Amino acid sequence: MLRNTLKEKMAKGPVFGMTLYSNFPPLVECLGYYGFDFAFIDAEHCPWEVTALREAVLAARFAGVSPLVRVTRPDMIEIRKALEMGAEGVIIPHVRTKEDAELCVRAGKLPPKGRRGFDMTVRSARYGVGVDNLAYIQHSLETEMIIPMAEDFEFTDNLDEILSVEGLDAINFGPADYSMSTNSPTFYDMEGQSTDQVLQQIVRKAAPRGIGIMAPALPPTLENARALIDKGVNMLIMGSDMFHMQNALGQIAGNVIEKLR
């Protein structure tokens, strides 16, 4: 079976990843070679369909970085397909109610914890080669992650009900969309903002249940990362491929090209 390590690492301390918007699997590999813990592969905002993520997931597996796939919505088929193709976890956007959270678990967890369809002819089960059916089910239940996103005010309105759903492994807090949903956009700036209070509320209620907390460190500085860890965040998103590429291009343009023209 696939070697899923993220939960094991999280039991020892915070883990670090990056969002990948570009359809360029070599960047996924590079995350592994640089020692990142997870690759946040975005199929919500990008032209990557969930069924076309095979190479990105394979790249992550090849380089030893945990592939987490953000699907487009709470959906039984999308969630199942992402996990069966080898994702170690699924990030689900715009979860607003207890019913949404229950659907996520139902789609992602095999019985008895969910209702995910069973099939051994998939990558997550090594296509059934040398893998015992019951061992595969147990391995999936213990190591694969269901991660709903808290990016709407309805999530916190229904926070206690959502957190009561068994089978949630982490919560991904999206401050930009959350602030947009309240018509007070502060985007990724949480310093002194209401979104910081929301994050702390989620940590306060989710962490005692053993539920991980994911949030972006933007800009991805040591100071910002430490501040998030001090607040109880243990899954840190250190920017994105586009963010870092644009910064690098800007530096080349400003520090070299413009001075030589």
Domain ranges of the chain: 6-260
pLDDT band at 50 (very low <50, low <70, confident <90, very high): confident
At 198-233, the pLDDT tens digits run 999 999 999 999 999 999 999 999 999 999 999 999
What band does 51 get if pLDDT is binned at 50, 70 and 90? confident
The pLDDT, as a whole number, for residue 187 is: 87
Task: pLDDT band for 192, please (50, 70, 90 cuts).
Answer: confident
Beta carbons within 8 Å of 157's beta carbon, 6+ residues apart: none
Per-residue pLDDT tens over the stretch 21-35? 998 999 999 999 999
What pLDDT is attached to residue 220?
Answer: 96
pLDDT above 90 coverage of the chain, percent: 93
User: Residue 41 pairs with which residues in a beta bridge?
Assistant: 20, 69
Scanning the structure block, which residue is given the tokens 């999936």? 140
For 6-260, CATH number?
A: 3.20.20.60
Distance CA 89, CA 103 (A): 15
pTM: 0.96
pLDDT value at 49 more than 80:
no
Confidence tier at 126 by pLDDT (50, 70, 90): very high
User: In this predicted structure, what is the pLDDT of residue 260?
Assistant: 97
Q: State residue 131's pLDDT score.
A: 96
Residue matched to tokens 């995910």: 116
Which residues are CB-contacts of 249 (< 8 A; sequence separation ≥ 6)? none
Mean pLDDT, rounded, of the chain: 96
